[in-house]
């Protein structure tokens, strides 16, 4: 291993695989290693069902009534993609779409006043939504029309409001929207994870609402989300293949992967099985550089196997339900993810549901109750937690670029933001994602 790599990537989680794909396409010399003998790291979809039985039930295989474990393709970190979102743009930009087939997600719902409602995303849906009373519906409709027509580069559509200066609160007050309306808009359409957005410039929230509505418009009704057939497990490998096409080297099953530093603390290489590969930069998940990350929280979740869709979601065979923090008296939102045989992730007639949130107490199982109560009867349910880490190093000093652990959200927006920020830090430039989505959609198998 005498040659020097521009970048050594450690761990084959989704974030790391997207980065090694993008960096290879940029012409950098990339070596990608993983201590495991499979792709995906934390986000792997490796026989989850079998693992769950081993870990929680002490049995080798699930009961026969649940069907064959081979028919389950359950992701450890399940997340839906926004149809017009950044991840889809990355997939099209890199042509990785050719390795995958997607299918639209049936429903996007929000929990409000103890009930589950379809998320209204357009002025027409606002008028029909039972989330609001008759007068509030009309006010919300006006606001939705404003957002639909808003064009950043055309001041005529701004109606005299400078959204780069006005906070979300100010704009909501101008339209006379009540707290309940702002709450579902902020959390279920704009996908904010806490209430900080209320005091931030409204432009970001308006753009997020537009993304939701435009993603939704690509399909009939349903939701703005898409999800790969057979789950996300195909995604890291698709990026690995992309990297290989551009000269990247992949090595699985490499024990230890010790990152080496020079006297000034700058990374110089990675050692595995007594051999050191030299490099200028290291990209990795938190587990490869435990001394340069700190624990910032814990994700609590329940994984359920069911024989029916989530009640009150219009028989959706794939669905996301967002439970905004305020509706639960919590600090962080809760998320329901459900997918089924219609996406080829479970045997015929079976549904897999995840309930997840950021743990706020020492008893996360109790915290998850409001989400679990929405599932109806379950065939089986498992509880587990994992710690979340964030980097604390200074990449400009040590040339180490560490991803943050996956959060509790059941969509990809925050994950991809982390990846793009890392890309910019590593390369010093922004990724050009101005792809033509309309041209691409014809080629995809939705
Ligand atoms: C936004 O406004 C610019 C400038 O007037 C115009 O060129 C562009 O086509 C508009 N975009 C949309 C989607 O209407
Ligand atoms: C329920 O789903 C059907 C299609 O499966 C759709 O036509 C209908 O609009 C949906 N209803 C609601 C309230 O979302």
Confidence label for 195 from pLDDT (cuts 50, 70 and 90): very high
- Mutual orientation of helices 14-25 and 413-427 as an angle, nearest 10°? 40
Question: How far is 314 from 316, CA to CA, in rounded Å?
Answer: 5
> What ligand is nearest to the CA atom of residue 210?
1
Q: How far is the CA of 188 from the centre of ligand 2 (A)?
A: 18
- Least reliable range by pLDDT among 52-61, 99-108, 121-130, 397-406: 52-61
Burial class (CB in 10 A: 0-12, 13-18, 19+), 64: exposed
- Chain-centre distance for alpha carbon 150: 27
Look at residue 442 in the predicted model and tell me its pLDDT: 38
- Give me the pLDDT at residue 2, please: 67
- How far are the Cα atoms of 65, 81, 166, 244, 303 from residue 353, in angstroms, in the given order? 18, 17, 39, 34, 6
- The answer to whether 375 and 353 have CB atoms below 8 angstroms apart is yes
Q: Is 221 in the pocket of ligand 2 (CB under 6 A)?
A: yes
Q: Which atom of ligand 2 is nearest to the CA of 314?
A: 1
Give the span between the Cα atoms of 196 and 199, in whole angstroms.
6
pLDDT of res. 121: 87
What is the number of the ligand closest to the CA of 214?
Answer: 1
Q: In what order do the strands lie in the sheet with 102-104?
A: 81-82, 225-228, 102-104
The fraction of the chain above a pLDDT of 90, given in percent, is 73
pLDDT-derived band at 172, boundaries 50, 70, 90:
very high
Task: Considering only CA atoms, give the Rg of the chain.
Answer: 22
End-to-end CA distance of the chain: 44
Q: Give nearest CA residue, ligand 2 atom 3.
A: 314
C-alpha 150 to ligand 1 mean position (Å): 10
Nearest to 11 by CA among 31, 33, 30, 28: 33
| Distance (Å) from CA 151 to ligand 1 centroid | 6
Asked if pLDDT for residue 19 goes beyond 80, the answer is yes
Place of tokens 């940029």: 26
How many Cα atoms occupy the beta-carbon half-sphere of 424 within 13 Å?
10
Length, in residues, of the chain: 446
More confident residue, 14 or 31: 31
Q: Ligand 1 — pocket residues by CB below 6 A? A: 151, 153-154
149, 153, 156, 436, best to mutate for ligand 1 pocket (most atoms within 8 Å of CB): 153
Nearest residue CA, atom 12 of ligand 1? 151
pLDDT tens per residue, range 47-103 = 677 777 888 888 777 888 888 888 888 888 889 999 999 899 889 888 888 888 899
* Probe residue for ligand 1, chosen from 149, 150, 154 as the CB with the greatest number of ligand atoms within 8 Å: 154
Per-residue model confidence as pLDDT tens digits over 26-57: 999 999 999 988 887 766 665 677 777 888 88
Output the residue whose Cα is nearest ligand 1's atom 11. Answer: 151
Domains of the chain: 4-43+233-293+391-430 (3.50.50.60), 48-106+223-228+295-388 (3.30.519.10), 120-219 (1.10.405.10)
Let me know: does 395 contact 425? Beta carbons within 8 Å.
yes
Cβ-proximal residues to 350 (8 Å cutoff; 6+ apart), any chain? 66, 67, 72, 305, 306, 307, 340, 341, 379
Answer yes or no: is pLDDT of 300 > 60.
yes
Q: How far is the CA of 147 from the centre of ligand 1 (A)?
A: 14
Ligand 2 atom at minimum distance from 221 CA: 9
Residues linked to residue 358 through DSSP beta bridges, in sequence order: 299
Contacts of 114 (CB under 8 A, 6+ apart): none
- Tell me which DSSP letter residue 64 carries: G
Residue predicted with more confidence, 164 or 232:
164
pLDDT tens column, 329-383: 999 999 999 999 999 999 999 999 999 999 999 999 999 999 999 999 999 999 9
Two structure tokens written together for 437: 């989505």
User: Is residue 282 very low, low, confident or very high in pLDDT (cuts 50, 70, 90)?
Assistant: very high
Between residues 268 and 408, the one the model is more confident about:
268
The per-residue pLDDT of the chain, averaged, comes to 91
């Amino acid at each position: 291993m005498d040659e020097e790599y521009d970048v050594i990537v450690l761990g084959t989680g989704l974030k790391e695989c997207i980065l090694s794909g993008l960096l290879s396409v940029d012409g950098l010399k990339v070596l990608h290693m993983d201590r495991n003998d499979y792709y995906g790291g934390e986000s792997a979809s490796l026989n989850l069902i079998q693992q769950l039985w081993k870990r929680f039930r002490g049995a080798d295989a699930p009961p026969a009534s649940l069907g064959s474990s081979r028919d389950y393709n359950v992701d450890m970190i399940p997340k839906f993609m926004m149809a017009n979102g950044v991840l889809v743009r990355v997939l099209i930009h890199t042509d990785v779409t050719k390795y995958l087939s997607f299918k639209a997600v049936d429903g996007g719902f929000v929990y409000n006043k103890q009930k589950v409602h379809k998320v209204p995303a357009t002025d027409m849906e606002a008028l029909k939504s039972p989330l609001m009373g008759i007068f509030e519906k009309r006010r919300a409709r006006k606001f939705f029309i404003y957002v639909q027509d808003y064009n950043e580069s055309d001041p005529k559509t701004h109606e005299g409001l400078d959204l780069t200066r006005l906070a979300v609160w100010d704009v909501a007050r101008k339209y006379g929207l009540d707290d309940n309306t702002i709450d579902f808009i902020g959390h279920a359409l704009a996908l904010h994870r806490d209430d900080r957005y209320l005091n931030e410039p409204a432009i970001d929230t308006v753009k997020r609402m537009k993304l939701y509505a435009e993603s939704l418009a690509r399909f009939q009704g349903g939701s703005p989300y898409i999800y790969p057939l057979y789950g996300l497990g195909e995604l890291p490998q698709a990026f690995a293949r992309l990297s290989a096409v551009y000269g990247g080297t992949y090595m699985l099953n490499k024990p230890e992967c010790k990152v080496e530093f020079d006297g000034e603390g700058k990374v110089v290489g990675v050692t595995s099985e007594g051999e050191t590969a030299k490099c200028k930069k290291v990209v990795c998940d938190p587990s490869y550089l435990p001394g340069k990350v700190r624990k910032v929280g814990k994700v609590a979740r329940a994984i359920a196997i069911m024989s029916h869709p989530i009640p009150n979601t219009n028989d959706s065979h794939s669905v996301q339900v967002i439970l905004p923090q305020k509706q639960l008296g919590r600090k962080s939102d809760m998320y329901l993810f459900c997918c089924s045989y219609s996406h080829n992730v479970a045997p015929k007639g079976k549904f897999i549901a995840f309930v997840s949130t950021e743990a706020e107490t020492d008893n996360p199982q109790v915290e998850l109750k409001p989400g679990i109560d929405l599932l109806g009867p379950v065939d089986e349910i498992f509880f587990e937690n994992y710690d979340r880490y964030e980097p604390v190093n200074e990449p400009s000093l040590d040339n180490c670029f560490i991803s943050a652990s996956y959060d509790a959200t059941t969509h990809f927006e925050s994950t991809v933001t982390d990846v793009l920020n890392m890309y910019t830090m590593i390369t010093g430039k922004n990724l050009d994602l101005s792809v033509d989505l309309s041209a691409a959609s014809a080629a995809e198998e939705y």
